[in-house]
A = this chain, B = another copy of it.
């Protein structure tokens, strides 16, 4: 790959002044014809030069036999020639000093084998000439900026102008999205089908859109990440300025690599995606429907100040459904103030319900809706409103909708407002009143609640600090020595005394532990460690020590310790040599946790926290975060697991010391950052105690790459 080019390079693609359409044809039902046609009917503001050796003129435009024969300078080449010709075409573009390319042609990396080599060739050419390229295997690009107005796609839908940017890794989905958005009257700023991402990646696009003044919301459809760590870095920054909503397909794709640690077993490929999105403030949705439900609200409404929502309805059932959906999505259907309740009691029909949800009942007309909205817009307990209207026959729709529109106007977007019309919105007289005011209208309350929850999530991310990465003073050299020795001896696993030495070097609390090679050493050390103690074989060749009788627990005296040593020495001496034992104080009380790391092939180190025992093994109740952890990440991980109540003072027990757990995670983060050769690491168990001094690592295992 070439060096990272500056952002503005992408202007050649998205803000070109002249375009060569290479492979344009006059035949109907060809991509070349469709793209040329789209550029013309969308009135691209610059010059278009079709290139095709077999035509003189296409759609009234003079056609050139090749790009180099065009007399004018060209910013962007849109290429749809057959795949055997793409490389040569790019060479010509390079020679002509064209800096932007969109390659529609497919048949490269996505078909594997030879296609991968051919794509590498394209990359080489593009890098050599310092070009930027979208694709290959893509659906094209759109910029609706009226100064540009480029639609270099073969979409049948003419995009509306708007403030939403869409980045799609799937061309087919892109077309569906354009179409769906059109029906919803939703406009785009920029649309890009990034295809195989050979040169321009999702992260590049995020970076470009960060500074695109017309883009206020970024939607993503991704199937994989080229460089997730770079993506994360950029997304984290951009998400603080512009909301990012993403569909990541491929949740259930199973990983194929052999698994050799607890953390590894739990680190499914999707865990990294979830962790990254959460850490970066990217809002993840599962379906296209959900994506658009969110988008309607994001493009029009202010972010709510809290999760407290008021629901207004004229029908009981839909009110209940909205409440269910709101609570299920983490919103609070908050009690109104006494003032609001009194005001509602005075201004709504007798049979109305004046709690939250507010039910103005079927006969509630414009006045009732006006009063209900007045109350909740003023109520300090409320920061967002879902207003349901099921048009009954006896009420004038238009009057109700006008009342809603006027009240919402009067309060001037000071709270987040979503409407739900439980009939096809289009058939409700007056619905344009709301649509023109950019109020999102949903057909069912669940969709409104879901979208509102998305806004709340985004607001929470904006308000939170990313936290800081802490750096501790550690003895990196000591740890490196242990790793070096293991590597030199060809050992893949670092266990027992060695693993504990590494933890100690990084300042992680470890249960009193020492090693003894000889009985004499044991006699000296055992009383210093104290009783009860465990004596464990410390032989790196023996992996499952418990299974072979290599661990003796509950040793209460030096005499017992000596006996244990004798037994282990007798059993595990090979070729006259005995590896020695680890002597460790046994810890009573506290809660077993597991703290680990697994190196994901694309996400790099993922750090894990969970409760020990069945919580991890059966319930899979663990939290993952991407390396490096900030202090906020560490604090969140601990609170994120379902079993967290056990740590926070369950049934009157003292809560465990949170600070030491967080610090341990942060020290581990520093450790795995320093040693990229670690494939995985388990501290299992780490005993979480009520005080830092009782919070101790008992055992650890490191697997090297």
Residues of A in contact with B (beta carbons under 8 Å apart): 29-31, 34, 106-107, 110-111, 154, 156, 168-173, 175-176, 179-180, 183, 221, 223, 247, 249-253, 286-289, 314-318, 320-321, 323-325, 327-328, 351, 362, 390, 392-394, 396, 422-424, 427, 443-444, 446-447, 611, 614-615, 617-619, 621, 642-643, 645-646, 650-651
Q: Assess whether A111 is in contact with B645, with CB atoms less than 8 Å apart.
A: no
Bound complex: CA of A252 vs CA of B319, how far in Å?
Answer: 12
Q: Assess whether B324 is in contact with A173, with CB atoms less than 8 Å apart.
A: no
Contacts of A362 in B (CB 8 A): 106, 171-172
Q: Tell whether A423 pairs with B176 under 8 Å between CB atoms, given A30-B394, A351-B107.
A: yes
Which one of B31, B169, B324, B422 contacts A250 once the chains associate, using CB atoms below 8 Å? B324
Q: Assess whether B351 is in contact with A31, with CB atoms less than 8 Å apart.
A: no
Which one of B173, B328, B390, B423 contacts A422 once the chains associate, using CB atoms below 8 Å? B173
Which one of B111, B423, B611, B618 contacts A351 once the chains associate, using CB atoms below 8 Å? B111
- Report how many copies the assembly holds: 2
Q: Tell whether A172 pairs with B317 under 8 Å between CB atoms, given A31-B393, A111-B351.
A: yes
Contacts of A327 in B (CB 8 A): 252
Give the nearest-CB partner of A29 in chain B. B394
- List 15 additional contacts besides A172-B362, A180-B424, A615-B619; criterion CB under 8 Å: A30-B394, A111-B351, A172-B318, A172-B392, A173-B321, A180-B423, A180-B443, A183-B424, A221-B317, A249-B317, A253-B320, A286-B325, A287-B444, A614-B615, A619-B643
Bound complex: CA of A441 vs CA of B75, how far in Å?
Answer: 43
Contacts of A287 in B (CB 8 A): 321, 325, 444, 446-447
Q: Assess whether A315 is in contact with B618, with CB atoms less than 8 Å apart.
A: no
Bound complex: CA of A2 vs CA of B154, how far in Å?
Answer: 69
Q: Could you say which of A111, A249, A615, A617 has the most chain B C-beta atoms within 10 Å of its C-beta?
A: A249
Contacts of A247 in B (CB 8 A): 321
Min CB distance, A672 to chain B, in Å? 27
Contacts of A314 in B (CB 8 A): 172
Q: Assess whether B446 is in contact with A316, with CB atoms less than 8 Å apart.
A: no
Give the nearest-CB partner of A250 in chain B. B320
Bound complex: CA of A325 vs CA of B614, how far in Å?
Answer: 28
Q: Tell whether A317 pairs with B251 under 8 Å between CB atoms, given A29-B394, A31-B394, A618-B650.
A: no
Q: Assess whether A422 is in contact with B318, with CB atoms less than 8 Å apart.
A: no
Min CB distance, A308 to chain B, in Å? 15
Min CB distance, A470 to chain B, in Å? 30
Min CB distance, A537 to chain B, in Å? 21
Contacts of A646 in B (CB 8 A): 614, 618
Contacts of A323 in B (CB 8 A): 252
Q: Assess whether B223 is in contact with A317, with CB atoms less than 8 Å apart.
A: yes
Min CB distance, A6 to chain B, in Å? 30
A-B contact pairs, 13 of them (CB 8 A): A110-B316, A171-B362, A172-B315, A172-B317, A173-B315, A173-B321, A173-B422, A180-B423, A223-B316, A252-B323, A252-B324, A253-B320, A288-B446
Which one of B29, B316, B444 contacts A288 once the chains associate, using CB atoms below 8 Å? B444
Q: Sorted from nearest, which 8 A-B pairs have the closest CB atoms?
A: A170-B317, A172-B315, A172-B390, A176-B422, A252-B327, A249-B320, A173-B317, A287-B446
Q: Tell whether A170 pairs with B315 under 8 Å between CB atoms, given A29-B393, A287-B446, A614-B646.
A: yes
Q: Assess whether B315 is in contact with A171, with CB atoms less than 8 Å apart.
A: yes
Bound complex: CA of A320 vs CA of B315, how far in Å?
Answer: 40
Bound complex: CA of A327 vs CA of B249, how far in Å?
Answer: 12
Bound complex: CA of A394 vs CA of B25, how far in Å?
Answer: 13
Bound complex: CA of A673 vs CA of B592, how far in Å?
Answer: 41
Contacts of A325 in B (CB 8 A): 286-287
Min CB distance, A356 to chain B, in Å? 13
Bound complex: CA of A171 vs CA of B289, how far in Å?
Answer: 26
Bound complex: CA of A392 vs CA of B179, how far in Å?
Answer: 13
Q: Assess whether B615 is in contact with A642, with CB atoms less than 8 Å apart.
A: no
Contacts of A396 in B (CB 8 A): 29
Give the nearest-CB partner of A350 in chain B. B111
Which one of B173, B223, B253, B619 contacts A621 once the chains associate, using CB atoms below 8 Å? B619
Contacts of A618 in B (CB 8 A): 642-643, 645-646, 650
Bound complex: CA of A249 vs CA of B323, how far in Å?
Answer: 9
Min CB distance, A178 to chain B, in Å? 9
Q: Assess whether A175 is in contact with B317, with CB atoms less than 8 Å apart.
A: no
Contacts of A175 in B (CB 8 A): 390, 392, 422-423
Bound complex: CA of A393 vs CA of B139, how far in Å?
Answer: 11
Contacts of A29 in B (CB 8 A): 393-394, 396
Bound complex: CA of A562 vs CA of B321, how far in Å?
Answer: 62
Contacts of A107 in B (CB 8 A): 351
Give the nearest-CB partner of A28 in chain B. B393
Min CB distance, A381 to chain B, in Å? 19
